[in-house]
Amino acid sequence: MPEVNLFESIKRYICKCAFGLSLATNVEALLKMPMREYHVSLPMKMDNGKIQAFQAFRVQYNDARGPTKGGIRYHPDVTIDAIRGLAALMTWKCALHGLPLGGAKGGIVCNPKELSAGELERLSRAYIQALFQIIGPDKDIPAPDVYTNPQIMAWMMDEYSKIAGKTTFGVVTGKPPALGGSPLRQDATARGGWYVIEKACQDFGINLKGATVAIQGFGNVGSEAALAGQQLFGCTVVAVSDSKGGILNWNGLDILRLLSHKRETSSVENFSSGRSITNQELLELGVDILIPAALENVITMENVGSIKARMIAEFANGPISSDADDTLQQRGIPILPDFLCNGGGVIVSYFEMVQNMNLYQWDEEKVEEHLKKKLIQAYHNVYSLAQKNTLSLRQAAYTIAVQNVVEAMRLRGWI
Ligand code: GLU
């Protein structure tokens, strides 16, 4: 199977929407290039006393709209091209949701499941030591992504503060609430995604109450999505999976019990009240709503013909390759694009930055109210443009986001 490259997909999307925006060729070329990228190696003493070097990256894709923002992922499959694609997506995400921020992404090539807590801490501190000069509350602000979490953000904030000689809460977001973190940040991506699904179901004639849902991924986003879908939105979550495998029960899974099963066995596999399925089978289920909430490129030309869901909500970044996206559009399956649907995470990260600047903590109600307002507004903008110009939701979202970035570049005098 030819390897699907996320960054190439993103560049194709820019071309597709650039057509509608009539961008000059040089502007389009600029949008397809990261502005800055850093490649570092992080030598670290392992628990066995040996030194091991880890490869790490930070890509600051575009800072026309403000300091760059985006998560850092720890994963063995991290590549510079994937990080470039994810950094570009962060640029569109912040622009679509009207945040005064640019886009960035970072990654360390490692398998955190094989590292001890001490090794994880030393690696996270090493990342900050290596990149201290180029990050900061008004430069570039990392956050959690795949296999990183509030504890890692706490270590990073501490390391940055030690080097800077002052407590600097605002250098990373997604911190624990006891250290300048925002209420609701942990649930924000999943909760926000459901607000978008709720609106889209009204527009596309799907009854959310009792709708069948399959979720690929049971990490931070996937597990919160399952819980919120069942408890807050009245859906029947029939299948979930993680990297080891999946579980299906057409009568609905008991998500709270499944969460404790996962805590005990570190997988959803072999959950007693359901039957085992593979990740591939989960993607191909005939459900009302399919939520890919794990990694990029899980729906490609290889399996797109078998997709039967009535609607797809991309909680992961880049889960559908651009050619598979064309096929699904032709089949008329509504797709709620990643940087619309999963923007809740960075929106609450932005609220966290605002709270850190004022050394103040909002209450949960205020965060929820502002989060909901922003997501519904973004969905409304995307849906109306799509309706008006017969575009897919993704094309409409790209058009708005790229236009916002281009306007900032023009006003700064860059183009
Ligand atoms: N990693 C998340 C994302 O892909 C959150 C980024 C952030 O909060 O900066 O949107």
Average pLDDT over residues 137-163: 98
Separation of CA 382 and ligand 1 centre (Å): 20
Owner of token pair 């679509």: 96
d(CA 206, CA 114): 43
Weakest mean pLDDT among 64-68, 139-143, 266-270: 266-270
The share of the chain scoring above pLDDT 90, in percent, equals 95
pLDDT tens digits, one per residue of 316-367: 999 999 999 999 999 999 999 999 999 999 999 999 999 999 999 999 999 9
Q: Is the pLDDT reported for residue 2 higher than 70? A: no
Owner of token pair 């030194």: 51
**143 CB within 6 A, ligand 1:** yes
pLDDT tens digits, one per residue of 183-226: 999 999 999 999 999 999 999 999 999 999 999 999 999 999 99
d(CA 292, CA 362): 31
pLDDT of 1: 43
CA-nearest residue, atom 8 of ligand 1: 346
At the fourth CATH level, which superfamily is domain 34-169? Leucine Dehydrogenase, chain A, domain 1 (3.40.50.10860)
Average pLDDT over residues 78-89: 97
Average pLDDT over residues 73-92: 97
Which segments within 293-383 are labelled E, that is strand?
A: 311-313, 335-336
pLDDT tens digits, one per residue of 91-108: 999 999 999 999 999 999
* 188-341 and 34-169 share a CATH fold: yes
**295 CB within 6 A, ligand 1:** no
pLDDT band for 266, please (50, 70, 90 cuts). Answer: very high
Q: Which of 375, 365, 308 is nearest to 341 (CA)?
A: 375
* Catalytic residue status for 373: no
- Of ligand 1's atoms, which has the minimum distance to the CA of residue 146? 1
The 10 Å Cβ neighbour count of residue 282 is 24
The 10 Å Cβ neighbour count of residue 29 is 11
Q: Is the pLDDT reported for residue 232 higher than 80? A: yes
Q: Is the pLDDT reported for residue 17 higher than 80? A: no
Q: Is the pLDDT reported for residue 370 higher than 50? A: yes
Q: Is the pLDDT reported for residue 382 higher than 90? A: yes
pLDDT band for 4, please (50, 70, 90 cuts). Answer: confident
pLDDT of 3: 61
pLDDT band for 411, please (50, 70, 90 cuts). Answer: very high
**Domain range summary for the chain, segments of one domain joined by +:** 34-169, 188-341
Q: Report which DSSP code applies to 320.
A: B
**106 CB within 6 A, ligand 1:** no
- Of ligand 1's atoms, which has the minimum distance to the CA of residue 173? 8
Q: Is the pLDDT reported for residue 30 higher than 80? A: yes
Average pLDDT over residues 248-263: 96
Looking at domain 188-341, its CATH class is alpha beta
Give backbone dihedrals phi and psi of 136, rounded to 5 degrees, phi first: 150, 160
- Of ligand 1's atoms, which has the minimum distance to the CA of residue 93? 10
- Residue among 74, 90, 186 whose CB has most ligand 1 atoms within 8 A, to mutate: 90
Average pLDDT over residues 374-403: 96
DSSP result, 13-56: HHHHHHHHHT--HHHHHHHTS-SEEEEEEEEEE-TTS-EEEEEE
The share of the chain scoring above pLDDT 70, in percent, equals 99
